[in-house]
Structure 1
Amino acid sequence: MEQRKRVVIVGGGYAGVKALQTLASSHLCDIVLIDQHPYHYLQTEAYELIANECSMTRVTIDLVALSLSYGEHVTFIKDTVREIDFENRCASGQNSCHPYDYLLLCTGSRTAFQSSTPGLREHSHGVKTLPSALSFKHQFEQRLYARMESEGGWCSEPFNVVIGGGGLSGVEIAAEMADYIRVFHKDNTLTCDNIHIFLIIPHEGVLEGMECYLIDKATERLIELGVKIINHSRITSVEEHTLVLNHEKSLCFDFMIFTGGIVASTLTATIESEKNKKSQLIVDEYLRVPTFQGVFAAGDIAELRDSDGELLPPTAQSAEQSGTLAAQNILALIENREMRRSQMKMEGMMVALGGSYAAISLFGVIRFSGLLGYWVKRVIMRGYRYFLHRQCAKGMDKLSKTKPQCHTGF
């Protein structure tokens, strides 16, 4: 009898989770999911977390329970893969080596803190990981509290929050924080109406490259919320509480978030294969890494293109599509079937714009915004989380049946 194939997925983000679901439901192979954290971080809801609109439990999915829910052919291992021996087909972690027949790399991306901008990494926050988002949230509230305490409840001095980058993440965070501050002014008994949000963008407007409807709605909403948009400006240096724009104009800040682009995870630095300027792996039309046999890549770690050859933006949607396709092609190889070429495309875009407001474009023809957009986005995001939580519950039920029961001696 032929031995079952072993598929190793490195990374439990949107691409990795979707690949896990696709592979596990087939029961054709043994699957090992490896991630340095025991949770799947719902990065698309990070803006709500840092603006106190939700708790940490709302933005995490337990990868241990999720893996358990599929049965004995799925295993989760908490480890950090440092390098890969492609010749001997083994992914090396901190303390062990994980052999594979097929390898799927889904380790995502990180914030691109450009080394050419002095002080940027040291004095700004990223929000692409849960620890960084929680760190910002905690420090922001501590600083705001200290300011109010020192001034007897009156914030007479400006409290400036700077967000660098006018892409999707920067716009959503700016809008959500501005709305949070507006509610804070309205509801809090401590008078503090001197908080300002600055959004710094290098281009003419926000959301460059997206359709005009989303750009217009986002711009209108940001202005309505009081966000100060500084366009045609590049951050050229950063000190502890001051940044310099275009080498000449300075701006003081109390907190800074940087969302100005991504680069692939550090794992790609150890992989001798073709990459783009963002260190993303160049994959073929089947999402294989051409240099190595049996190796695929999905999500932000790979340069993804649509059916017309155009670059896809690094979104949860493109990550999920690529994770599914890569998993389907691995199953095709296991069953000696023909693989599918990539036919990925963006089916729509949703932009959260603070409070009960969002702008949505679906299939390039259906567009709406405001409260309706907010509810549609909320239903979609909650649906994603709900089905994963339901699957996790099955895993927790299995775990509770295998654990020894503790009894008190009354």
Structure 2
Amino acid sequence: MTRVVIVGAGFGGLATMSALAHQDVEITLIDKHNFATFQPLLYQVATAGLNPGDVAFPIRTLLRKQKGVTFRQGMLAGVDSAANEISLVDGARVPYDFLVLAMGATTNFFGIPGAEEHCHGIYTLDEALAVRNKVFSLFERAASQGIKGNAMTTIVIGGGATGVEMAGALAELKLRAFRTDYPSLDPAQARVILIEARERLLGAFSPELSKYASAELKGRGVEVRLNTEVKSVTDAGVHLANGEFIDSRLVIWSAGVGVSKQFSDLGLPQGRQGRFEVGDDLRVVGHENIFAVGDIAATLESDGSLVPQLAQPAIQTGTHVAKMIQALITSMPTTQFVYRNKGTMATIGRNAAVAELTNGMKLTGSTAWLAWLALHLLTLLGVRNRLSVLLNWSWHYISWGRGPRVILGG
């Protein structure tokens, strides 16, 4: 049987696997974790809106109904394209006839001094939990020892969808938590500052929706700083390019994602943002049987711009690669990948979100918020996770102000 090795169990890797699972191929799925993470909801884990188990789904459970698929936990160390095999960090070697690289991306700090050392990302479950622990540790310290300066100030760098969602959730968290659990603290002293280098938030959306998002955040107490560049980050706070220094004990980075530095040693061609260069059919340039999908691939749109690093492009590229592998197995020609934008959404907070559909329709407020909730429930892996998230969301909506605000692992 044709051996297909898929490295990465994110949206792209799972889409490739699902589309190939009923074909006459032998699939090996490899990931450094034994669970798949639903990344769009990690910010809610970071702000105690959801539990870690709500956004993580065991891969082996997922494979129970997938015939011909074997899972192996491990991390990619090298690709030997001449021998058609990969090596893992633990020393194992896995042969392949077709290799699909779907490792996803990681936080991109753009070389800003101190950012990698002193900022928290929210791109993995561990990072989300670290932010959650830090937030409530700061609250507990302030409640027991008193507030000193800007001890509860949180800075979110990056005004894209993730930054907007994170800032909105933090602003609502302090209002809820201080009302019920920390009555001695003043919410005004728990500042949330959102910094964006460009002239508006949500650059991928229309100016109209960007303006709405900014107004909603400000209404929730978020300090929005536009046209503001970060010069450096230290353990004491953030230095801005205009000379200002903002004292903060928690800086969250959501300004962009990139490819992990460890993949630079694979000997595969890399282009913009370190993403692997691929042809029209998503094969890595110079390699007939190696594909790249999702965030890690430098997939181009018709105008020459890079396809955004979002869930939908990852799913679409994964599905396309599965078709290309089937075509190559049957000696059929491959075809060009065409990205179909199905619209974009971002939530701002309770009863507030923005949505921009492909037909030009724009939604805001409760309508967009309900659409956002429904879409994310439908795309979650596993019935248990969907029910758990639905129950958590319903409970938080009804019992506004109460929630499981615990410090985990420390």
Give the TM-score of the pair, scaled to structure 1.
0.89
**1:368-379 mapped onto 2 (5 Å cutoff):** 368-379=363-374
Counterpart CA distance in 2 for 1:135 and 1:372 is 32
Render the CA deviation track for 1:76-99: whole Å, top value 9, x for unaligned.
100001111011011100220110
Tell me by how many angstroms 1:301 deviates: 0.5
Q: 1:389 to 1:280 in 2, by over 3 A?
A: farther
Counterpart CA distance in 2 for 1:215 and 1:89 is 47
Does the Cα contact within 8 Å between 1:312 and 1:346 map onto a contact in 2? no
- Which residue of 2 is the match for residue 44 of structure 1? 40
Tell me by how many angstroms 1:264 deviates: 1.0
> Match for 1:122: what amino acid?
E
Does the Cα contact within 8 Å between 1:348 and 1:362 map onto a contact in 2? yes
In structure 1, stretches of 5+ residues that fail to align are 392-410
Tell me by how many angstroms 1:338 deviates: 2.9
For the pair 1:173 / 2:166, whether they are aligned, the reply is yes
Tell me by how many angstroms 1:388 deviates: 7.0
Does the Cα contact within 8 Å between 2:143 and 2:182 map onto a contact in 1? no
For the pair 1:293 / 2:288, whether they are aligned, the reply is yes
Counterpart CA distance in 2 for 1:99 and 1:53 is 42
Tell me by how many angstroms 1:373 deviates: 1.4
- Which residue of 1 is the match for residue 397 of structure 2? none
Tell me by how many angstroms 1:40 deviates: 0.9
> Match for 1:162: what amino acid?
I
For the pair 1:34 / 2:27, whether they are aligned, the reply is no
Q: 1:386 to 1:101 in 2, by over 3 A?
A: closer
**1:143-154 mapped onto 2 (5 Å cutoff):** 143-151=138-146
For the pair 1:302 / 2:289, whether they are aligned, the reply is no
Greater CA drift, 37-46 or 330-339: 330-339
One of 3, 7, 21 as aligned partner of 2:4: 7
Tell me by how many angstroms 1:35 deviates: 0.4
Render the CA deviation track for 1:26-52: whole Å, top value 9, x for unaligned.
232010000000111111011111111
One of 325, 339, 347 as aligned partner of 1:344: 339
Tell me by how many angstroms 1:114 deviates: 3.4
- Which residue of 2 is the match for residue 242 of structure 1? 237
Counterpart CA distance in 2 for 1:78 and 1:273 is 23
Q: What fraction of aligned residue pairs are identical, expressed as a percent?
A: 25
One of 357, 361, 370 as aligned partner of 1:366: 361
Aligned residue for 1:332, secondary structure, equals: helix
Aligned residue for 2:252, secondary structure, equals: strand
Counterpart CA distance in 2 for 1:156 and 1:390 is 40
Greater CA drift, 236-245 or 35-44: 236-245
Does the Cα contact within 8 Å between 2:47 and 2:173 map onto a contact in 1? yes
Aligned residue for 2:3, secondary structure, equals: strand
Tell me by how many angstroms 1:267 deviates: 4.4
In structure 2, stretches of 5+ residues that fail to align are 387-410
Aligned residue for 1:373, secondary structure, equals: helix
Counterpart CA distance in 2 for 1:267 and 1:296 is 18
Render the CA deviation track for 1:160-191: whole Å, top value 9, x for unaligned.
00011111211111111112222223333523
Aligned residue for 1:170, secondary structure, equals: helix
Counterpart CA distance in 1 for 2:357 and 2:80 is 43
Counterpart CA distance in 2 for 1:328 and 1:267 is 29
Tell me by how many angstroms 1:350 deviates: 0.6
- Which residue of 2 is the match for residue 131 of structure 1? 126
Counterpart CA distance in 1 for 2:260 and 2:384 is 27
One of 67, 76, 83 as aligned partner of 1:81: 76
Counterpart CA distance in 1 for 2:89 and 2:298 is 27
> Match for 1:177: what amino acid?
L
Greater CA drift, 211-220 or 348-357: 211-220
Counterpart CA distance in 1 for 2:19 and 2:262 is 24
Question: Considering only aligned residues, what root-mean-square deviation do their CA atoms show, in Å?
Answer: 1.9
Greater CA drift, 348-357 or 300-309: 300-309
Tell me by how many angstroms 1:196 deviates: 0.7
Tell me by how many angstroms 1:253 deviates: 0.6
- Which residue of 1 is the match for residue 154 of structure 2? 161
Does the Cα contact within 8 Å between 1:7 and 1:32 map onto a contact in 2? yes
**1:117-128 mapped onto 2 (5 Å cutoff):** 117-128=112-123
Aligned residue for 1:37, secondary structure, equals: coil
Render the CA deviation track for 1:294-334: whole Å, top value 9, x for unaligned.
00000110112234443221111111111111111111111
**1:42-121 mapped onto 2 (5 Å cutoff):** 42-71=38-67, 73-95=68-90, 96-115=92-111, 117-121=112-116
Q: 1:327 to 1:390 in 2, by over 3 A?
A: farther
> Match for 2:10: what amino acid?
G
> Match for 2:373: what amino acid?
R
For the pair 1:213 / 2:202, whether they are aligned, the reply is no
Tell me by how many angstroms 1:390 deviates: 9.1
Counterpart CA distance in 2 for 1:333 and 1:267 is 30
Counterpart CA distance in 1 for 2:230 and 2:41 is 26
